[in-house]
Amino acid sequence: MHAVLIAVHAAAATVALAAGLAALRYPVLIGTHAVGTVLMGVTLAGALWVGRAGNTTVLNVVFLALLVLSLVMSWRSVRAWQHRPAVGESTSASYVAAVGFNCISLVTGLLAIAALRTDWGPVAIIAAGVLPTLIGRIPLNRALHARQ
């Protein structure tokens, strides 16, 4: 069951990332991003519950942090969907901020888990958690300034 939940979680996160990136340009895809993000969070919670006995304390802390992040991402994606622009209208700064935050968070989670699972060490895990945020903020800030 754990492997199935992880597979669905990874697939949902992949869909959420692809749809989120596309939704910045094509807001009609925000619903797909929101569904993917919520499904990602729900399956993460299930996978953490099912696999809780096999984790170390460090992994439990990291996974709990990722679960909280997935809840925030789900809330932001649903809010972006609620405030999506009408056909032909441009996206608002709050819409771009929410979707951009989620895309950065999805990349961060992907890289952090990769660093954890490949035993690259704590420096790689920290870098995987920090660098996507620092790098991702550059185009996000440009997009936000363009809308203000």
For 84-139, write each residue's pLDDT tens digit: 998 888 888 899 999 999 999 999 988 988 888 888 888 888 888 889 888 988 88
CA atoms of 99 and 81, how far apart (whole Å): 10
Q: How far is CA 106 from CA 6, 20, 27, 90, 148, in A?
A: 15, 10, 18, 24, 25
**Which residue matches tokens 């993460």?**
44
pLDDT surpasses 90 at 146: no
For 36-79, write each residue's pLDDT tens digit: 999 999 999 999 888 877 777 877 787 888 899 999 999 999 99
pTM of the predicted model as reported, rounded to 2 decimal places: 0.87
- The residue segments making up the domain with residue 98 are 1-146
pLDDT surpasses 90 at 147: no
- Largest Cα–Cα separation, the chain: 51
Looking at the structure of the chain, the number of domains it has is 1
For 15-41, write each residue's pLDDT tens digit: 999 999 999 999 999 999 999 999 999
User: Minimal CA–CA distance to 19: which of 103, 78, 110?
Assistant: 103
Whether 139 contacts 97, CB under 8 Å:
no
Please report the pLDDT score of residue 120 as a whole number: 81
Angle at 133 between CA 8 and CA 142, to 5 degrees: 115
